[in-house]
Amino acid sequence: MRVLSERDFPYSSVKMLASARSAGSEVTFEGETYVVEELTEDSFDGEDIALFSAGGSISKKYGPIAVERGCFVVDNSSAFRMTEGVPLVIPEVNPEAMAHMKVGGKAGIIANPNCSTIIALMAVTPIHRAVGVERMVVSTYQAASGAGALAMKELEQQTREVVNDGECKTMEIFKWQYAFNLFSHNAPMMENGYNEEEMKMVKETRKIWNFNDVNITATCIRVPVMRAHAESINLTLKNPLDEVKAKELLSKAEGVSIIDDRANNRFPTPLDATDNDDVYVGRIRQDISQPGNKGLDLFVCGDQIKKGAALNAVQCAELLLK
C-alpha cells in the first residue's frame, strides 16, 4: 500500500482481501478507511488488477479464479513463476514478456520473481545485454525480512537478549541463534544439495533472460540484517568488458545506483538500500582470476521488501496500464 501511494498508482476503487480470520479489521489507505473483506471466488468480479501476496497455496487456488473473472493477477508467490505462459517479469529487465497484456484485454497472471533474483538481475542484465554472461557465481547476504515479519522481530528480540542479558533465549522461528550469527538459507533443501532459494536464482534467471545457456551457482546465506539483501556476484563473460565500461553501462541502467568510491572505501551496504527503490552496485572490478577482461566482480544491495517484492509487483501492475 505504501508503494502504491508513493507511486501515485491510479485507481477508481480499492478492495482489501484476506482470510476469514482477518476479515472485518480496518486498514487505512490514502486517507480512507477500508474494512478488510474475506477472499472468496466472487471477490474479483469487476476488478482489473489483483496484487497477490498471501503465499503459494492461496495463489494457486485463487489466481486462476481471478483470471477467469477477467482480473489480472500480479503474484508475489513462487506458485506460477516457472509455469509456461506466465511471464516472470522485472520491468526494467524484460517488460517485453508482458507486452501482450493490458488492462481491458484478456486477463492473465504475471509472476513476480524471487527477491534475490530481482536484485541480482537489476545489476547483471545491463552487462549481459552488452557482452553476454556465460556463468555467474553468487553468494548472498540475506536479510531477516525475507523470512517474514516474525523473523525480523525474533532477530531484534534475540539481539536484545544477547546484548542486555548475555544469552539468547527466544528461538521460535529458527532453531538456532540468529543474533550475531549467520546460517545457510532456511529454504527447503533439494536433491542436488542446493536449497530452493539457490535454485530459484538458477531457473528464474534463465526464464527472465530467455537464455538457457547461462550457468549459475549460488550459495544463499541469511545474515543478521533487517531488510536489505546483499549479493557478491562473480561473472564470466562471453566477450571482454573492462571495468570502466561496466561502470558506464550500470550508470545508465534504470533503477540502479552506483556507490563505488575506492578512495574512501565506500561501497553499497544494506542500510544504503533500506527503504529505497534502487538497487545499489559497487566493487565493480575486473576479475583478476579470469584473464582477457572476461570476468567481473560486483557487490549489490537491494531492499528485499521494495524492489525485491512490493515495488516490482506494483511496477508490473503499472505496465498493465501502459
Residues that bind a second copy (CB under 8 A): 135-137, 139, 141, 156, 159-160, 163-164, 176-177, 180-184, 186, 188-189, 192-195, 202, 215-217, 219, 221, 223-226, 230, 232, 234, 243, 262-263, 265, 267, 269-271, 282-290, 295, 297, 299
Half-sphere CA count of 130, side-chain side, radius 13 A:
19
Residue closer to a second copy (CB basis): 78 or 274: 274
DSSP 308: I
Whether 128 is catalytic is: no
In the complex, what is the shortest distance from the CB of residue 306 to a second copy, in angstroms, rounded to a whole number? 17
8 Å CB contact between 50 and 40: no
Residue closer to a second copy (CB basis): 274 or 315: 274
What is the four-CA torsion angle of 179, 183, 220, 197, rounded to 10 degrees?
-90
The secondary element (H helix, E strand) that includes residue 58 is: helix 56-68
Residue 288 dihedral angles phi and psi, to the nearest 5°: -70, -10
Residue closer to a second copy (CB basis): 108 or 224: 224
| Best CA proximity match to 136, nearest among 146, 123, 149, 145 | 123
Residue closer to a second copy (CB basis): 255 or 270: 270
User: Which residue is catalytic, options 71, 115, 168, 220?
Assistant: 115
Burial class (CB in 10 A: 0-12, 13-18, 19+), 268: buried
In the complex, what is the shortest distance from the CB of residue 211 to a second copy, in angstroms, rounded to a whole number? 14
In the complex, what is the shortest distance from the CB of residue 144 to a second copy, in angstroms, rounded to a whole number? 9
Indicate the residue type of 62.
Answer: Y
In the complex, what is the shortest distance from the CB of residue 254 to a second copy, in angstroms, rounded to a whole number? 25
Helix, strand, or coil (residue 116): helix
Whether 301 is catalytic is: no
Q: Please name the residue that has the C-alpha cell 473483506.
A: 37
Residue closer to a second copy (CB basis): 53 or 181: 181
In the complex, what is the shortest distance from the CB of residue 159 to a second copy, in angstroms, rounded to a whole number? 5
- Which are the catalytic amino acids? 115, 229
